[in-house]
Amino acid sequence: MTRYVALYCRLSPRPDGSYEGVDLQEGWGRTYAASMWPGLPVKVFADAGISAANGDHRPRYEEFRTALGRVEVAHVWAVEQSRLERREVEWFTLAAELDAAGIKELHTNRDGVVRVHDEVAGIRAVLNAGEVRKMKKRVNDRLAENAAQGRAAGSKPFGYGHGVDESGSKTYVIIPEQAEAIRWAAEKVLDGWSLANIAAELRARGLVGAHKVKVKDANGEIVTDAAGNPVTRPSALTASSVRSMVTKPTIAGFRVHQGVIVGRGNWAPILDEATWQACRAKLSAPRTVRTADGFTYPITDAHKGNTTGRKYTLTGGLAVCGVCDAPMVGSIKKLKNGKRTPYLLCHPNRGGKGCTGIMLEATEKYVADEVFGVLDMPEFLDALTSDDHATRRDELTAQLTAVEEERNEIAAERGRGELTLAEWKNMRAGLNEREQRLRAELAAVPAPVATLDYRAARGSWEAMTLDERRAFLRTLIERVTIKRAKPGTKGFDPDRVMIEFRQMA
């Protein structure tokens, strides 16, 4: 087997802030190899734009180490020692691998010929790692100061572009088209639309995510251009993107540093605080379930329960038994003629006693028709413009803001050493519990209903998801009560279905 010269190339910053592309490094390495080892083949291992200081996965670097293990490499070249490894412990590990492969020297442009087991190489590795730590501390100190001053972060969230304010500080500038999409998405979240449907609508409008993603080939490898830089494309908007765009503190004008809100930013918010808090509550509050014995518990993302059963619009507590007031469930019932059909039942599994039952699909159609019939009444639509819950919604929003401020205060006290770790953990747990309770209560407060497009809902009813239908009905209906059937009644009897509409001022 013919051994070869291995060139390891990685992006390296220039003093002016630009970058030496891996193509330049490769050119230097090939020139060096041709003069030092003429006739030996050359193989390039290049990682474009990947750090060697943070333990990031470097595919080509790992291939290089594998080649060392197979004793394929005769000589190694890099621009400098730190291009291969900038961490001291990892350098000594690599040095042992190089030595085991019979390679005693690393050839570089800037450090000369480095003897891999020489003390100088070890000292240089320690110095390189020390410089990395100093650099990170300088960067972190600067980022913390920028955050404290309310300056925009380096990331670019959906809805904003980078700009400069009157003082010359970095800020965010609103992108009108994206900001309008965020406000529309927030309305639809509060109206009960699913995140997936919101994302689909935004994609249909031609909107894309704020960030670029690296293009990968059929083998999952990152595609690079002629200069060795990763090829990127705009990211697609997904349900997760929508959740982020309406719940991210940046959208409400808050500056976040290391996961904590540190104050107001120096940019204009896209969502007002009340709408932002309402969206967070809608998307994060747990759903409370009541068992047959009266015990209640929250259903969170970690506890979904059995989700394989059939789902119906009027289940989930919207329809109740007119005899025992227990929530009704959907089930398949076999009729006397042998036909199987969905039924709403007062079931013992939900605390019922088997008091009532009614054809489910006919009931759901009747309720929907009645709701849309009421919406055709001008006086009912006029009443929808009122918002009797605005005061309570504002109170809960203010309390949630106070929780955020208190969390920041105790974090600062912990940072100054004024709190023990146990005290800090107990306080944080208490605040988290209070925040969850407030968000659950805020989620239970009806959203402003005037934002709903009721007439459009009629035409899109069949296309709505289950959650969207439930959310739509709950903005108008307190509950649907199913009364006992009259003796001798056959088929669906609408007189058994009592719809209690929400009180409109």
56-93 confidence digits (pLDDT tens): 788 899 999 999 999 999 999 998 888 888 888 888 88
Widest CA span in the chain? 103
- Provide the 3-class DSSP secondary structure of residue 9: strand
Domain 4-135: CATH superfamily, name plus number: Resolvase, N-terminal catalytic domain (3.40.50.1390)
User: Tens of pLDDT along 205-249?
Assistant: 999 988 888 888 888 888 888 776 788 888 889 988 899 999 998
User: Tens of pLDDT along 91-101?
Assistant: 888 999 999 99
- Pairwise CA distance, residues 447 & 234, whole Å: 33
- Pairwise CA distance, residues 101 & 74, whole Å: 8
User: Tens of pLDDT along 303-327?
Assistant: 344 444 456 888 878 899 999 999 9
How high is the pLDDT of residue 296?
43
- Pairwise CA distance, residues 407 & 390, whole Å: 26
- What are the C-alpha distances in Å from 136 to residues 54, 66, 132, 197? 10, 30, 6, 42
How high is the pLDDT of residue 117?
83
Average pLDDT on 448-463 reads 63
Sheet strands side by side (includes 319-321): 319-321, 477-482, 497-501
- Pairwise CA distance, residues 244 & 249, whole Å: 9
Q: pTM of the predicted model, to two decimals?
A: 0.51
Q: What is the DSSP track for 453-473?
A: -HHHHHHHGGGS-HHHHHHHH
- Pairwise CA distance, residues 208 & 245, whole Å: 12
Residues in contact with 373: Cβ distance below 8 Å, sequence separation at least 6, in sequence order: none
User: Predicted confidence band at 148 (pLDDT cuts at 50, 70, 90)?
Assistant: confident
